[in-house]
Amino acid sequence: MNAAPIAIRAAFSYCVQQVRRYDYHHYLSLLHLPPAMRRAAFAFRAFNIEISRAMDLTSEPRVGLMRLLWWQEAVDKVFAKKLVEQPVARALSSVISEHKISKQWLKRSIEARINDANREDNSIPKCTSDLEKYAEDTQSTILYMTLQAGGIQSTAADHAASHIGKASGLLLLLKSLPYHFGRTGKIPYIPADVAEKYGLLTTINGRSEIVIEFGEQISEAVFDVASVAGAHLQKARGLASTVPQEAFPVLLPAVSAQVLLDSLQRSHFNVFDSSLARGVLGISPLRYQLKLKWYAWRRHDGIRAIERRTDRRKCTADRAGLGNPRTPLLPPPRPRSSEISKPNFCTTTNIACIVPYADDAISASSKLLEINPEIYTAWNYRKRAFEQRLQESTDQELIKSLVEAELRVVEAALRRNPKSYGAWYHRKWVLNRGVVEVDFDREFRLIDQLLKADPRNFHGWNYRRFVAKLKVVPEVEELKFTMDMIDTNFSNYSAWHNRSALLSCMLSTKVLGFDERAKILAEEYELVRQALFTDPSDQSGWFYHLWLLDQTVSPDEVLLVSTWPPHGSDWVLSIAENPACYKLSQLSSLSNYFLQSGKLPIVLYFNQSVKGVKSSSISVNSTFLKNEDLVWTPVPPTKSEEALCWVTYLHFQNIQQCDSKTKAYSIEVDLDHSQNIISSSGLHHCHPLNLRFHLTLSSASVRHSGGELVDDLFIWNCDGGDSAEESNIIMPFDQLNISGHPVPEFCRWKLETINKEKNLFTEISEENCKFVKLTLARLLVARDAMLSSTTPVTERLIHLRDALELFEDLIKLDPKHARYYEDQRSLVLMNQIQFPLIRVLNVIPNSSGCLLGLETLQLLTCLNLGHNKFNSFTAFGPLKFLGSLRVLDISFNEIGSHSADTTRYLFSSPLSHSLELDKKFTLDFCNAKIKASEHWEAIILFKDLNLKQLDIKGNIVADENFRDLLVKLLPTIRWLDGERL
């Protein structure tokens, strides 16, 4: 049997299920369509569900945008007759191949969702017409496409579909207000002009927001928007006589719009009324289906079927506006203040009335939870019933019986499933109420029984921490309990984890007897060694050892570990007659650096991420620029403004050409007020420093000095070297030697402990134990990180190679976790080069798939990333911050091997495939017939680089068209794939 028809049937079945689950009222409407149109209509409605739920499926807006952008690309592929492995996309592809469907309707629908998602959380539509436009783009377009699928070509039907879609969209937006308010605390779909009319609009921090302190005003605003929807339904009725007979089933959603409008009127336009959430659009499912069947049967009267049963005033003023005020379609009801009050807008439950809780219903919920403890609705029902009964009762004995009943229900549920999240959370919720005295003996007995049955049940350990905190049990006693459990079974991971949580708290607060950190950690090392030697293949002790290692190597103070230019260095700056490029030479070495646009970077590198690096905390005394004019920026830029590396620039643009005599300057960097520099853990930089380097300005021509390094072809040698004079060996810049500050005793203990552990694990005979190899690799890396200022370079390189060999062994020994080991290996390599001195870097082939931290190399000129595993241009994002980069080799990677790189949407990128390019670029691309939208991730990367040499061969993306794009995008390029341009 052919697999294609089976896959298509499965795709349409999926669409039907999605519509039935998330759009039930339209599901019932679609059942009345002829079979030829029904398949297409279900595909269109399922597509609408996919894009409408994209932002609701995640709390991270960027991930929601990724889904929408994926669908934007999927639609393009469907119309290009390319296969998209997604059920709804498959169904759409089948429908489009059978019927002549306009692509613009699908694109308009997605673009409307994207524009709505891009709105800021606090922004609201300016006027009702904005909402109408959104409703037409999201709802009317579905009706347009359904009409096209049925081969119905009628202007009247299209106009009716437009009005019905607008009415349906506006009413559904009103119905969704409680959901959005409960999720974000905002009212997003009341227009600003309507909100201002009823005094709901307020300005907070320069932004307009809607306040809902007064229920009656909200109802009036909802009424205004609903009246606009009613006016559209009236206009649809006026077109009924001109609509073709075969179009009436397509326009049945007018019935659901009228039903929702009627339900809003019954609730006095209080969208928070719980009756709107009952049944189908506020009425019983049976009644709704009978309405649909009746109106579908009266086909000849299609849209007229939604006429009101009672006389109501019609809208007499034309909405185009001739100076006459609009008469509301429905008379505004005037409910009593008690019917619409502030409690109806509860931000946590959105329930408009108190539901009575009967004894038989509560009893049924307990039986239900005993059978299946994972029904969260039942737990929430019991919580609300418990709260109501507490409010109604003042008898202490009755309250005790209520608490006892809840605890018994939890215990019955735990007997069914000891790992039920809902049961454990409900028990903690009841005890946290504090309405009765807690029987701690009973709680600890329950925990003991649970841990006896399953000593590793993390729910039980979590609950024990909760009860111990509630009883204020000394942490020392809990630590003894963990020791007893570990003595019983070394493999009890949960006990080890609980011990680490307790010790972390005790060491940070310096509990009596735990103020000597070195002593406590040494005892813990001795304890975990017994577990490791008892069973080296058990992972519990290894995880605890990893925690101990982290406690050992974590810095306990903020230190400046590296700077560029180095302290005490002497430099000569050669200035050209036309200063497009400056050459910076160090007198004590042969190192040359080329600075573009006359900017000299000053780089500070700390041992942990810090913030507060600014001109007030760091003073730079320079002739070229006032200290207060300097701006320190984190590398890379972060929203938290915390980073390991910080950089500022001294500008030379105002320096005139030097005369025959050289001019020498001294530049000082003072950290006298560095206590304002704070780490993410709250530590302050407490080591005032004075750094100084000398700069001599020379009038020697840059061109006569040899020009830039990359005027000629730069060749990387096969042995890992290059044609430049400097070596390619990865060599970290030595840490700054801070004299005058003795090494603390605790730091010496750290070094001794790391050495002791390294020697110990080197001698372990379990050669094929992955935990031994992984721990030994971590110890080698940690040791070199702590001793980088005193250990000889050759010894560090030996340790680096040993660590990399261990990761290679782990990749072969444990292929299931090979990607993890590869990432760890890449991080080790990146950590070795995260210092600003490196100018030429050749990354080892097949060793890296990420460039985390590379942006700190502000003087990097030549970079070889060839023969690695990069699969997208966005992986090279850190390169955008390297202003000195001139030579780049990214050949023989995997760029272009994946049809869709969804990770790119996590980065700064145009959300609609539109780029802000210079007119020259746009014209060049048009003349060369280059589609910028197909290569926008590459354009984002290369448009900010000033490369003179680029190698990109060996990647799927590297065809002739792409080479033409690079030539036009990089005006400075001289060499492309080894060929002179």
Higher pLDDT, 675 or 422: 422
**Weakest mean pLDDT among 36-50, 182-196, 579-593:** 579-593
Residue for token digits 């790992």? 419
Instruction: Please check whether residues 793 and 863 belong to one and the same domain.
Output: no
937: pLDDT strictly greater than 60: yes
Contact 133, 179 (CB under 8 A): no
Judge whether residue 757 has pLDDT over 60. yes
pLDDT of residue 19: 92
Question: Residues 880-901: what's their mean pLDDT?
Answer: 77
Say whether 540 sits in a helix, a strand or coil: helix
Q: Which long-range contacts (CB under 8 A, 24 or more apart) does 61-64 make?
A: 61/117, 62/905, 62/906, 64/117
pLDDT at position 214, please? 47
pLDDT for 804 equals: 82
Which of the four pLDDT bands, split at 50, 70 and 90, describes residue 8? confident
Report the range of poorest mean pLDDT among 377-381, 557-561, 766-770: 766-770
- Find the length of the chain: 981
Q: Residue 962 has which token pair?
A: 């792409």
Q: Among residues 299, 320, 343, which one ends one of the domains?
A: 299
Domain count, the chain: 5
Is 806 within a domain?
yes
Question: Is 329 contained in some domain?
Answer: no
Q: Hey, what are 774's tokens?
A: 């992984």
Same domain, 158 and 281: yes
pLDDT over 70 at 488, yes or no: yes
Is residue 673 domain-shared with residue 760, that is, in the same domain? no
pLDDT at 88: 92
| Strand 592-596 to 581-586 pairing | antiparallel
Query: How buried is 476 (Cβ within 10 angstroms: 0-12 exposed, 13-18 middle, 19+ buried)?
Result: middle
Q: Token pair of 214, please? A: 């007064």
Please tell me whether the overall predicted TM-score, pTM, comes out greater than 0.75 for this model: no
Residues 278 and 165 in one domain: yes
- Computed over every residue of the chain, the mean pLDDT equals 76
CB 327, CB 317: distance < 8 Å: yes
Average pLDDT over residues 661-690: 78
Do 805 and 909 lie in one domain? The reply is no
In which domain, by residue range, is 108 found?
Answer: 1-118
* Residue 802, in any domain of the structure: yes
Give backbone dihedrals phi and psi of 283, rounded to 5 degrees, phi first: -125, 170
What value does the CA radius of gyration of the chain take, rounded to a whole number of Å?
Answer: 35
- Examine residue 716 and state whether it is found in any structural domain, yes or no: no
Residue 226 lies in a domain: yes
Are 853 and 952 contained in the same domain?
yes
Token pair in block for residue 243 = 């609509």
Q: Is residue 424 part of a domain?
A: no
- Residues 161 and 189 grouped into a single domain: yes
Amino acid type, 142: I
Q: Which residues of 914-947 are buried (b: 16+ CB within 10 A; e: fewer)?
A: ebebeeebeebbeeeebebeebbbbbbbbeebbb
Q: Supply the pLDDT for residue 518.
A: 83
Residue 84 pLDDT > 50, yes or no? yes
Residues 388-420: pLDDT tens digits?
Answer: 888 888 888 888 999 999 999 999 999 999 999
Lowest-confidence region among 482-496, 499-513, 695-709, 740-754 = 695-709
pLDDT digits (tens, 9 = 90+) for 28-75: 889 888 887 899 999 999 999 999 888 887 777 777 888 888 888 899
Q: What is the pLDDT of residue 165?
A: 92
Q: Kindly report the CATH number assigned to the domain that includes residue 844.
A: 3.80.10
- How far apart (Å, rounded) are the C-alpha atoms in residues 840 and 728? 7
Q: Are residues 843 and 826 in the same domain?
A: no
As a whole number of angstroms, the distance between CA 354 and CA 33 comes to 41
Mark out the alpha helices in 787-836 (DSSP H runs): 793-813, 818-833
Q: Within this chain, do residues 67 and 80 fall inside the same structural domain, yes or no?
A: yes
What percentage of the chain carries pLDDT values higher than 90? Answer: 12
Q: What is the pLDDT at residue 406? A: 93
Residue 676 is assigned to a structural domain of this protein: yes
CA distances (Å), origin 962, targets 474, 864, 954:
67, 20, 13
How far apart (Å, rounded) are the C-alpha atoms in residues 386 and 380? 10
* 694 lies in the same domain as 759: no
**For residue range 248-286, what is the model confidence (pLDDT) as tens digits?**
889 889 999 999 999 988 888 888 888 888 888 888 888
Answer for the pair 599, 652: CB distance below 8 angstroms, yes or no: yes
Within this chain, do residues 764 and 870 fall inside the same structural domain, yes or no? no
Q: Are residues 813 and 855 in the same domain?
A: no
Four-point Cα dihedral 414, 419, 422, 426, nearest 10: 60
Q: Confidence class of residue 356 from pLDDT cuts 50, 70 and 90?
A: low
Among 780, 798, 832, where does a domain finish?
832
